[in-house]
Chains A and B, each alone.
Chain A
Amino acid sequence: DQQVKQNSPSLSVQEGRISILNCDYTNSMFDYFLWYKKYPAEGPTFLISISSIKDKNEDGRFTVFLNKSAKHLSLHIVPSQPGDSAVYFCAASQTGANNLFFGTGTRLTVIP
């Protein structure tokens, strides 16, 4: 049972434009959400996170939006740069629980 879903396996965006990566979850008990970025042959690296008490968190070019009623979050990258080309994983957890549930990833390609 996939509790975190990334329905778009890939996304291509022109350099300088906005990239929007989407993530849906089914478990209403999740209250903390993270995005990880993964380059080929490397482990995932933490990018940005958001707690369920907020609906937006911003860090430079990266902004994560959380819509709890829709059980949906999105990652906005603006402006997109070629170095952003990677696989992006959405992850979710529940305070007090041990597991971090990952989505299947979205491969972002930023075209120069």
Chain B
Amino acid sequence: EAGVAQSPRYKIIEKRQSVAFWCNPISGHATLYWYQQILGQGPKLLIQFQNNGVVDDSQLPKDRFSAERLKGVDSTLKIQPAKLEDSAVYLCASSFSGTNTGELFFGEGSRLTVL
């Protein structure tokens, strides 16, 4: 079974530039999550989708971050304009259900460095 795919694995940009990350969840998983993991911290939820609808985006800095999951499968997370503090690993995860008692399957992450 293919896992959660993310790209790019690494991205270096200058502040005020924009960046986009892509995620393809495990086939059949209705729930998709984007987490931000800053160095030395645990992952923090940015946004959760159930199919193509947003379930929770309360922690998403909406002035600069946006995410979409148009067809209920792939998802894109965009940052524009980037700030130095956005340097982190962006983890995409998926699960069969969105109950939070189910296991999350994580991708390898996209490491962003903002200079």
Contact = CB atoms under 8 A, between A and B. Distances in A.
Contacts of B103: 34, 46, 49
Interface in B58-91: 59, 91
A107 to B, nearest CB: 11
Contact of A102 (B4, B42, B109): B42
A45 interface: yes
Interface string A99-111: 1111111000000
Given A43-B91, A95-B99, A102 B104 contact: no
A45 B42 contact: no
B55 interface: yes
Nearest to B59: A99
Contact of A94 (B41, B55, B91, B100): B100
Interface string B33-65: 000000011111100100000011001000000
Nearest to A39: B108
A44 B92 CA distance: 10
Kindly state the interface size class of chain B when it binds its partner.
Answer: 20 to 34
B36 to A, nearest CB: 11
Nearest to B4: A43
A46 B48 CA distance: 18
B108 A32 contact: no
A98 interface: yes
B108 A98 contact: no
Contact of A104 (B42, B45, B109): B42
B43 A102 contact: yes
Given A41-B108, A43-B108, A99 B45 contact: yes
15 contacts: A4-B42, A32-B101, A43-B91, A43-B106, A46-B104, A46-B105, A49-B101, A49-B103, A91-B42, A98-B48, A98-B56, A99-B56, A99-B59, A100-B45, A102-B44
Given A43-B91, A43-B93, A44-B91, 5 more contacts: A42-B109, A44-B43, A93-B101, A98-B98, A102-B42
